[in-house]
A and B are shown apart, each in its own frame.
Chain A
């Protein structure tokens, strides 16, 4: 039941209609039932014991662990027990995650040395079907345990609220990764949500149509260029490969941002605010800023539960850089079991280390050259450079074969035929001129929206709330018809999956 599928549209309309009709006190149970149905429906291809049981285990383990932890005083001799319980919860949660996500990867990693020593390689001839959304619900429940351990929150006593916090259907598949102190209080106040709240509803609708626009008009369309050029890279020169890599940057942004935005919109219609996961990341001035704007719920999770426990920045510089590298390597591994993801995470960590190390030098150079660091030109240059390095790193994210990724990057630096940008050559990469023009206009709209987001520091929905009602109507209607007309859907296409669902 993808967010861009008809099934989800029908499901959500029913959920919403019943939500508004039910007595307010029953709403939270209805959302819990709907979330469980949503998850089980998604897992229907496999027996319930094979899929949903892992979700229920994660919920049960972290709920009980949190509850017991709450009973143990944080001071005195028994406090060690709290740490033991935290470790137990983490091992249980991450054990599941590692088992499904990384077993094959590690076997493949150690098999060469087994063979070298004359042993029989371990079999990789098995298919571990990863439970849907496992990376997300594991992170949600682990974050909860950390927060209880740190006494940031009180353990949730009501198992149903806790279960809903973990499996809230808009977020379970692909985030945003919610925090207990943010979501649970809202769940407890669901009965106070007004049925007719035009601002909230139009906010939610704007988010949903904008998300659908980003996914169906931009991401799925631009994917045709990316798939074609990356799939047949040997037919193309440097300009085409650079262009395709830029397209991939836009594709993955729109794809993932759209999911989070639709999740926000759906939640908003039910009176719940979930985290905004993206804040115009490609308008960042540095890689560090990029990570403050990209997949914010994951970045902040890694910051709070990996980087800070490692010592964060309140330690020696060397240790701080090591912490940064470890955090980004964890981020890479979280995204997938593969060398390419580790390299991708490593590049991002390294770029931040280089950024930190060279900061004094850059400052000196800027002073000596009177660089006017507040000027548009300077910021534009920095933004462009940041985009370029992030874009290059995405190659390792997209191409699972490390050697091929390196080969593609090498090809980007071959002698470019720049006429391709003007002689219609771009129309032969997977989209004809008409489709290309539609894409161009849509990306332009994305840019305008991101600039507005960066300037106002608000979500799309909140920006629209500040506009006159007729303007909101025009935007909603324009986006709706753009999706209806130019969206990639219908019998000729399968509803394309979201890239981040695989993580």
Chain B
């Protein structure tokens, strides 16, 4: 009897222990999901590091580290397509050198770059470069380890701050008001970019910027002590570990004599360590920059500017450093760079299309679209239509007589499908990844948003261009006579 009781007690304790362990496991599992949903998802710093960790080991030949000037100026697609250089950009907004230092240490754990480029904007930053946004963008994407802890330690001044940021969940939870379905997707609804992303961000915006005026010769001016300390650490680290390093300053609309004096100072330090320092602000003409067209804002190149600059940079790199053209590699380990290039070029073409306001040009671009594009057409009135548009519709077999207003058409690679509404008024719908496109009698809807909400009531030809490769709407326009209206 006693043995039975003891056995029963042991079994009960065992059952309770198993239950407690199961509870903790479920809790841990759910916490992991919670972290995935709430973690910051800035492309710079956060998703960029996820993408970096996803790279095959020892495939990145060129590693670019620095501020936002890196991830909007150095086009990884161009470096691949024109030079066969597999590159990756690890950059964060206003990234100080201490973050760059720990990023470098983190990066070389898995990659052996043939060259590291350190972008040097941090030499020129004079304000306190320690605030939550910086920590979010430049540290939170890093895996837990000494580099991350050291980077945090270098970023905060007191123990409380270190505890606050080390216990990341406090910051994660602050994101709950901005949480949406794309956070659950984990890639902000851009899976194509995310899969093959190399850290570069095309900035599709144009702002007129005055060409900076500065003296050729300025006296060197020391940078902030803390920046210099970590700048030297980077240089020492590369020297001690035989990592080829180039320090560069990218073209900057906000460039000044003061900035130049800091860069001169930094170049002198680079000389001490035997590393090259190139200030590309000395080569505006050689790069071919047009300050009225090639900048997105004062400090950043846009989609046109980054391509010009990267071509110049690529020439410089292949002339001065030891790179291998990986385009001929047949092992497949570099395929994602080709995909990245394709992604970037599609995005570029999409932007150009959506930025076209001349009907003749527009029709020309529509006619050149590849089979990855679907062009949806709805006609409400053909009273005002240019000859070019009429020709485009005619070539694609879209009739110019009623009841065209009761039909919709889908053109892909020169083939046209006539769409008829079902009893619910739905002509066509497609789910791709996390997105949904619907063509119905009430309009064109992408992820539930009426693409023509802002131009409702206008007659003409409604055109929606869907980029099925990137799973995104490339353009939604109303062509009315010689005018093009958009959201």
Residues of A in contact with B (beta carbons under 8 Å apart): 6, 196-198, 201, 434-435, 469, 473, 477, 480-481, 484-487, 489-492
**Given A198-B16, A485-B173, residue A491 in contact with residue B27 (CB < 8 A):** no
List the 10 closest pairs (A to B, CB-CB), nearest first: A490-B170, A198-B16, A491-B164, A485-B176, A490-B174, A196-B16, A196-B13, A434-B177, A485-B173, A492-B174
Which residues in B have their C-beta under 8 angstroms from that of A434? 177
Are the C-beta atoms of A6 and B167 separated by less than 8 Å? yes
For the complex formed, measure the closest distance between the CB of A197 and the CB atoms of chain B, giving whole angstroms.
8
With A and B bound together, what is the CA distance between A434 and B161 in angstroms? 29
The answer to whether B365 has its CB under 8 Å from any CB of chain A is: no
**Given A196-B13, A198-B20, A481-B30, residue A491 in contact with residue B171 (CB < 8 A):** yes
Which residues in B have their C-beta under 8 angstroms from that of A473? 23, 26
With A and B bound together, what is the CA distance between A447 and B177 in angstroms? 24
The answer to whether B169 has its CB under 8 Å from any CB of chain A is: yes
For the complex formed, measure the closest distance between the CB of B5 and the CB atoms of chain A, giving whole angstroms.
15
Are the C-beta atoms of A489 and B170 separated by less than 8 Å? yes
Which residues in B have their C-beta under 8 angstroms from that of A480? 27
Q: Which of A435, A473, A491, A492 has the most CB of B within 10 A?
A: A491
- Residues of B within 8 A of A (CB-CB), count: 24
- Of chain B, the residue at the smallest CB distance from A481 is B34
Are the C-beta atoms of A469 and B19 separated by less than 8 Å? yes
Are the C-beta atoms of B34 and A435 separated by less than 8 Å? no
Which residues in A have their C-beta under 8 angstroms from that of B17? 196
Which residues in B have their C-beta under 8 angstroms from that of A481? 30, 34
The answer to whether B274 has its CB under 8 Å from any CB of chain A is: no
The answer to whether B163 has its CB under 8 Å from any CB of chain A is: yes
- 1/0 contact trace for B123-149 toward A, CB 8 Å? 000000000100000000000000000
B residues 22-36 with Cβ under 8 Å of A?
Answer: 23, 26-27, 30, 34
The answer to whether B165 has its CB under 8 Å from any CB of chain A is: yes
The answer to whether B47 has its CB under 8 Å from any CB of chain A is: no
Which residues in A have their C-beta under 8 angstroms from that of B161? 491
The answer to whether B38 has its CB under 8 Å from any CB of chain A is: yes
With A and B bound together, what is the CA distance between A38 and B124 in angstroms? 48
- 12 example contacts (A-B, Cβ-Cβ < 8 A) are as follows A196-B16, A196-B17, A196-B20, A198-B16, A473-B23, A484-B173, A486-B176, A487-B173, A490-B170, A490-B173, A491-B164, A492-B174
Which residues in B have their C-beta under 8 angstroms from that of A486? 173, 176
With A and B bound together, what is the CA distance between A148 and B163 in angstroms? 48
For the complex formed, measure the closest distance between the CB of A483 and the CB atoms of chain B, giving whole angstroms.
9
Are the C-beta atoms of B177 and A435 separated by less than 8 Å? yes
Which residues in A have their C-beta under 8 angstroms from that of B165? 491
Which residues in A have their C-beta under 8 angstroms from that of B132? 491
For the complex formed, measure the closest distance between the CB of B190 and the CB atoms of chain A, giving whole angstroms.
25
Are the C-beta atoms of B30 and A477 separated by less than 8 Å? yes
- Of chain A, the residue at the smallest CB distance from B156 is A491
For the complex formed, measure the closest distance between the CB of A427 and the CB atoms of chain B, giving whole angstroms.
13
Are the C-beta atoms of B26 and A485 separated by less than 8 Å? no
Which residues in A have their C-beta under 8 angstroms from that of B164? 490-491
Which residues in A have their C-beta under 8 angstroms from that of B169? 484
With A and B bound together, what is the CA distance between A175 and B13 in angstroms? 34
Q: Which of B17, B164, B170, B171 has the most CB of A within 10 A?
A: B170
With A and B bound together, what is the CA distance between A197 and B30 in angstroms? 24
- Of chain A, the residue at the smallest CB distance from B170 is A490
Q: Which of A198, A435, A481, A489 has the most CB of B within 10 A?
A: A198
Are the C-beta atoms of A6 and B163 separated by less than 8 Å? yes
**Contact partner of B34 among A201, A484, A490, A491, CB < 8 A?**
A484
Which residues in A have their C-beta under 8 angstroms from that of B173? 484-487, 489-490
For the complex formed, measure the closest distance between the CB of B360 and the CB atoms of chain A, giving whole angstroms.
47
For the complex formed, measure the closest distance between the CB of A481 and the CB atoms of chain B, giving whole angstroms.
6
Which residues in B have their C-beta under 8 angstroms from that of A487? 173
Are the C-beta atoms of B27 and A198 separated by less than 8 Å? no
Q: Which of A473, A481, A484, A492 has the most CB of B within 10 A?
A: A484
Which residues in B have their C-beta under 8 angstroms from that of A485? 34, 38, 173, 176
With A and B bound together, what is the CA distance between A281 and B30 in angstroms? 35
With A and B bound together, what is the CA distance between A6 and B160 in angstroms? 11
With A and B bound together, what is the CA distance between A198 and B22 in angstroms? 13
- 1/0 contact trace for B305-322 toward A, CB 8 Å? 000000000000000000
- Of chain B, the residue at the smallest CB distance from A201 is B20
B residues 265-284 with Cβ under 8 Å of A?
Answer: none
Which residues in B have their C-beta under 8 angstroms from that of A201? 20
Which residues in B have their C-beta under 8 angstroms from that of A198? 16, 19-20
Which residues in B have their C-beta under 8 angstroms from that of A469? 19
Which residues in A have their C-beta under 8 angstroms from that of B26? 473, 477
With A and B bound together, what is the CA distance between A106 and B20 in angstroms? 56
With A and B bound together, what is the CA distance between A353 and B328 in angstroms? 95
With A and B bound together, what is the CA distance between A486 and B177 in angstroms? 9
Instruction: List 12 additional contacts besides A469-B19, A480-B27, A484-B173; criterion CB under 8 Å.
Output: A6-B163, A196-B13, A196-B20, A197-B16, A473-B23, A473-B26, A477-B26, A485-B38, A489-B170, A490-B164, A491-B164, A492-B174
Which residues in A have their C-beta under 8 angstroms from that of B38? 485
With A and B bound together, what is the CA distance between A491 and B173 in angstroms? 11
Which residues in B have their C-beta under 8 angstroms from that of A492? 174
With A and B bound together, what is the CA distance between A491 and B172 in angstroms? 11
With A and B bound together, what is the CA distance between A489 and B173 in angstroms? 8
B residues 16-62 with Cβ under 8 Å of A?
Answer: 16-17, 19-20, 23, 26-27, 30, 34, 38
With A and B bound together, what is the CA distance between A484 and B168 in angstroms? 12
Which residues in A have their C-beta under 8 angstroms from that of B23? 473
With A and B bound together, what is the CA distance between A492 and B176 in angstroms? 13
Which residues in B have their C-beta under 8 angstroms from that of A197? 16
B residues 49-78 with Cβ under 8 Å of A?
Answer: none
Q: Which of B13, B23, B26, B169 has the most CB of A within 10 A?
A: B23
Which residues in A have their C-beta under 8 angstroms from that of B177? 434-435
With A and B bound together, what is the CA distance between A6 and B410 in angstroms? 59
For the complex formed, measure the closest distance between the CB of A17 and the CB atoms of chain B, giving whole angstroms.
14
Are the C-beta atoms of A491 and B13 separated by less than 8 Å? no
With A and B bound together, what is the CA distance between A49 and B17 in angstroms? 46
For the complex formed, measure the closest distance between the CB of B357 and the CB atoms of chain A, giving whole angstroms.
38
For the complex formed, measure the closest distance between the CB of A97 and the CB atoms of chain B, giving whole angstroms.
34
Which residues in A have their C-beta under 8 angstroms from that of B163? 6
Which residues in B have their C-beta under 8 angstroms from that of A196? 13, 16-17, 20
B residues 64-107 with Cβ under 8 Å of A?
Answer: none
For the complex formed, measure the closest distance between the CB of B96 and the CB atoms of chain A, giving whole angstroms.
19
- Of chain A, the residue at the smallest CB distance from B179 is A485
With A and B bound together, what is the CA distance between A492 and B174 in angstroms? 8
- Of chain B, the residue at the smallest CB distance from A490 is B170
For the complex formed, measure the closest distance between the CB of B279 and the CB atoms of chain A, giving whole angstroms.
38
For the complex formed, measure the closest distance between the CB of A484 and the CB atoms of chain B, giving whole angstroms.
6
- Of chain B, the residue at the smallest CB distance from A472 is B23
Which residues in A have their C-beta under 8 angstroms from that of B171? 490-491
**Given A477-B26, A480-B27, A481-B30, residue A491 in contact with residue B170 (CB < 8 A):** yes
Which residues in A have their C-beta under 8 angstroms from that of B13? 196
Which residues in B have their C-beta under 8 angstroms from that of A6? 163, 167
